[in-house]
Amino acid sequence: MNRTVYAALLPVLGLTVWAMAQTPGDPLIEGLRNVEVASVADAMEQLYGQKAYMSHDMRPISKTKFAGPAYTVLLKKEEHKEGSKASQGMLDAIDAAPPGSVYVMVLENGLDYAGIGALMSTAMKVRGLTGAVVDGSVRDTPQLARIQFPVFSRGVAPSTTINHFRFAGANIPVTCAGARVNPGDIIVADEDGVAVVPRAHAAEVLKKAEELDNTEHTMLPFIEKFKSIKEAVAKFGRI
């Protein structure tokens, strides 16, 4: 499907595409924003034999689709009484992340803790970040829905990280929900989940993902017409 047509359809489909309202930038990121995450995951596997997608429980708070370079944050589990001082780095990272970035937060053993909520998400939105991906939980979901900032997480919890975690680094390699993420890797997210594309492979992955998308979108009317998945696979070679 033509990228422009696909992008125009997203609001009709009820998807929040905050990043698409920003000034167009890197054509590779623009392209990856408009292909399906399933095709990106398939492209990474077919081209490089790599599992490049996050765990099945990494889900969007609301319908959304985005892509952008990763700005990573790591928090380590540690009980203490230093309040926000021990976690200050995660706030500094929001101010340091360039516009268009995806805030990728990893909480060590943090599924029962909310890594971000309304305050941090609002700060990310007004600073022009594209979205957030949290290997942990989030909270303040009504407010997140109200501001329409795209957030993926592995759960929802009313808890806080304050007094329970310490900041362990920003813009460093992390493993987020089972996927390796290096600073600057391109995060691609839609309702199917989240995939990670190494910057060095972005052009090849985009080309392959577009090919896979186009093949699948051509197969759909063929299946509807001939009522046979077997014939479609035999003709187009894709499943």
Residues 186-213 have pLDDT tens digits of: 999 999 999 999 999 999 999 999 999 8
Asked if residue 40 is part of any domain, the answer here is no
How far is it, in rounded angstroms, from Cα 44 to Cα 193?
A: 15
pLDDT reading at 6 higher than 60: no
Asked if residue 131 is part of any domain, the answer here is yes
Q: What is the CATH number of the domain that holds 60?
A: 3.50.30.40
Asked if residue 209 is part of any domain, the answer here is no
Q: What is the pLDDT of residue 121?
A: 97
Asked if residue 116 is part of any domain, the answer here is yes
Asked if residue 229 is part of any domain, the answer here is no
- Comparing 36-40, 52-56, 172-176, 217-221, the range with the smallest average pLDDT is 217-221
Place of tokens 């329970």: 164
Q: What is the pLDDT of residues 7-36, one digit of tens each?
A: 444 444 444 444 333 435 799 999 999 999
Asked if residue 45 is part of any domain, the answer here is no
Distances (CA, A) of 110 to 86, 89, 153, 198, 209: 16, 17, 11, 25, 33
The model's confidence at residue 231, banded by pLDDT at 50, 70 and 90, is confident
Q: What is the span of the domain harbouring residue 14? A: 3-22+53-202
What's the number of domains the chain is made of? 1
Residue 83: Cβ within 10 Å count: 10
Asked if residue 48 is part of any domain, the answer here is no
How far is it, in rounded angstroms, from Cα 108 to Cα 96?
A: 22
Asked if residue 41 is part of any domain, the answer here is no
Strands 102-107 and 66-77: parallel
